[in-house]
Amino acid sequence: MLSPKSAETVRATLPAVSGAIGEITTLFYEKLFTAHPELLRHLFNRGNQANGSQQQALAGAVAAFARHLLEHPDSRPDAMLTRIAHKHASLGVRPDQYPVVREHLFAAIAEVLGDAVTDEVAAAWDEVYWLMAHALIAVEKRLLTEAGVPEGEVWRPYRVAARIEETDDVATFLLRPADGAPVPPSRPGQFVSVQVQLPDGARQIRQYSLSGQPDGGLQISVKRVSADGRPGAPSDDPAGEVSGYLHAHVHGGETLRVSPPFGEVVLCDDGEGPLLFASAGIGCTPMVAMLSHLAATGSRRRVIAAHADRSPATHPFRTDLHRLTGKLTDATAELWYEKGVRPEEGLRHGDGLPDGGGLPESGGLPDGGELPDGAGEAEPQAGADGVDSVTVRTGLMDLTQIAVPAGTTAYLCGPVPFMKAVRTQLLASGVPASRIHYEVFGPDLGL
C-alpha cells in the first residue's frame, strides 16, 4: 500500500518517530486544542486528555499502523481500524476534521524531531497518515449508512423513561426516542454515545455499553466514576464529570442526546460452540446484554459467566446473572469476591437481594493474575432446579480453577490489567487468541 520510496523512508525513521511519539502526540493535542478549543469542549473526552490515555492510544495506533504497512504491505490492520471507526462513528467524527488533525500532528512532528523531518520524511509519513485517514473515513461512512444516519446527524434526543438504582455507584437508565419513532437495531455487546451539557456549557460525550434490549428503548448502566478511580475523589473531575452529572441530575423525564448503537465486539450467535464471559465490576454490562439475548433465544450452548467484584453488595446485576444462567440449559456462573460473602449475603438463584456494582481497584486480579494465600475457596450455590449453577469464591479471579471447554469463544470486559491477566490464563488453557474478544471502557491501549 505504501509506495516503495515511502516504505523505505518510513522503515528508516520509524524507530525515531516511535521513540518520540509520546512527546509528539502530547504536543499535537496542545496545538489542536489551542487552535480549536471547541473540540476539547464538545468532542474529545476531557478526562482521557487529563490522564493521558488518549495520547497513548493515538501514539499506539499511528505506530501500529505504520508497522503493519511495512510488515504486511498487501493488507491493512482492519481489526484495529474497525474498532477506531466504530468509536468515531458514535462520536460524530466528520471527514473534514481529518485535515485539521493532520495539520497539527505534522506541526508537532516537525517541532519535536526538528531537522530530521526533511521533505522526503514528511512526504512519507504524510502518505502513512492519509492511508489511515482515508481507510477510517470509508469505514465510518459505511457504518453511518448502515445505521441510517445522515452525515452530521448522529445525535438523536431520547427521553429518560426510568432510572433504576443497581448499587450505590451504578444506575440504569431506560431511554426512549423523544420523537416516538422506532429505536435503531442493536447487537448484544454494542454501545451508544451519550452527550450532556455540563454546567460550564461544554457538551461532553461518553460511551456506555447497552446493558439490555428493552422493547421500544435503549438501556444503559452508568457507574459513577471518580478521578482515576480513587475512592473519595471528586466526581466533577474530568474523569467522572459526565457520570457524576447523570447520577446527580438525571432521574427521569429529562432528554439526552444519544447516538445509534455501534461497536464491533458483539456476540456471534450463529455457532454452537461454548462461550465464556469474563468481567470485573461495571465490565459486566455487555456480558449481561449477551446473556439476556442467549436466554431470550433459548440458546443451548455451554455458557460460563465469570465475574469478579469487591463483594456481593458491589456486584451490578447480580440477581440478573443468577436468573439468566438459571434460564439457560447449560450455563454456570463463577463468582469471585475479594471481601468474601457474609451469611446474610448467601447467594442463591433468584435470591432477591439488592444488586450491586462497582469496580475493584485491581479489577478482580493483580497484575500477575495470582491469588493471595487462602483465597479461592469455592462455595457452590444450587439453582432452582437443584443444580449447582453458581459457584462463589473468596479472593481474586483465577480461571485456572475452572475447566474451559475446547472450542470456547471468550469475551472480556473490565480494567486492562484484569483483561491482560485473564487473556493470559485463557491462552494457557488452549483458547486461541483469535477466539478472545475484549471491550475497553476508554481509549484502547491494547492487551
Q: Which of 16, 99, 97 has the alpha carbon at shortest distance from 63?
A: 16
User: CA-to-CA distance for 285 and 290, rounded, in angstroms?
Assistant: 9
* Beta pairing class for 191-197 and 255-258: antiparallel
Q: What are phi and psi of 413, to 5 degrees?
A: -155, 130
Q: Write the DSSP symbol of residue 262.
A: B
Type of residue numbered 187: R
Torsion of CA 3, 7, 8, 9, to 10 degrees: 100
Q: Is 140 tagged catalytic?
A: yes
Q: Which of 212, 290, 207 has the alpha carbon at shortest distance from 246?
A: 207
User: CA-to-CA distance for 262 and 190, rounded, in angstroms?
Assistant: 5
Q: What share of the chain is helix, strand, coil (3-state, %, to 5)?
A: 45, 20, 35
The one catalytic residue among 29, 127, 129, 140 = 140
For the chain, report the end-to-end CA distance as a whole number of angstroms: 27
Distance of CA 439 to the CA centre of its chain: 4
Angle between helices 119-146 and 53-71 (to 10 degrees): 100
Q: Which of 185, 167, 90, 188 has the alpha carbon at shortest distance from 413?
A: 188
Neighbours of 372 (CB within 10 A): 11
Buried b (16+ CB within 10 A) or exposed e, 338-364: beebeeebebebebebebbbbbbebbb
Three-state SS for 59? helix
User: CA-to-CA distance for 180 and 160, rounded, in angstroms?
Assistant: 13
Specify the residue for cell string 465490565: 283
The one catalytic residue among 8, 23, 98, 103 = 98
* Beta pairing class for 156-165 and 409-413: unpaired
Q: Is 337 tagged catalytic?
A: no
Which cell is 283 given? 465490565
Does residue 42 contact residue 93 with C-beta atoms inside 8 Å? no
Taking every pair of Cα atoms in the chain, the longest distance, rounded to a whole number of angstroms, is 73
Buried b (16+ CB within 10 A) or exposed e, 211-241: bbbbeebbbbbbbbbbbebeeeeebbbbbbb
User: CA-to-CA distance for 240 and 237, rounded, in angstroms?
Assistant: 6
What are the residue numbers of the active site? 98, 140
